[in-house]
Amino acid sequence: MKNRRHDAILDIIAEQPVSTQEELINILAEKGIKTTQATLSRDIQELSLVKKRDERGRFRYSLPPTALAEKSIFEEAVISVDYAMNTIVLKCRAGMAQGTCAAIDSVEHQGIVGTIAGDDTIFILVRSEADAKKLSKKFKSELFPGR
């Protein structure tokens, strides 16, 4: 449910200007997704959404540039996501691991202790196995929606 709600939020803010949480709650309800203000507030934080002025000067929710860069490079570079204990392993296309790793480092993901990249593999050390499972699931849902 959370992943579906997150995907819907990202689709909504990409399609139309949304400037308040109340407005976003109403649009989500129109799409059949009921949520509370408290849940939406956590979603906004987890998605790293920011408010920026659009070309008309109106404030609207959007992804920060680093999150957009991370999502773009992820879609292009990452082939698979897995974890063991408290380490996440991302397999990438040849030569793309270091750039992808830099994109990961530019976004503050909860629980990450550090990252290291080779040519086609990234190791992400997180604080616990629960963090590894949660972040792996997030990466997979972004890379392979619907799986």
Q: What are the E-state strand segments in 39-139?
A: 50-53, 59-62, 78-84, 87-92, 112-117, 121-126
The CA-atom distances, in angstroms, between 61 and each of 5, 21, 58, 77 are: 15, 9, 10, 27
pLDDT of residue 80: 94
Is residue 78 within 8 Å of residue 71, measured between CB atoms?
no
Model confidence, pTM? 0.55
Distance, CA of 112 to CA of 135 (rounded, Å): 9
Return per-residue pLDDT of the chain as tens, 147 residues. 777 888 788 888 888 889 999 999 999 999 999 999 999 998 888 777 888 887 788 888 887 765 555 567 778 889 999 999 999 999 999 998 998 888 888 777 788 999 999 999 999 999 999 999 999 988 887 776 655
How far apart CA 38 and CA 142 sit, in angstroms, is 23
Counting every residue written for the chain, the total comes to 147
Query: Which backbone phi and psi does 145 adopt, to 5 degrees?
Result: -60, 140
Q: Phi/psi at 60 (nearest 5 deg)?
A: -150, 155
Domains of the chain in sequence order: 2-62 (1.10.10.10), 65-143 (3.30.1360.40)
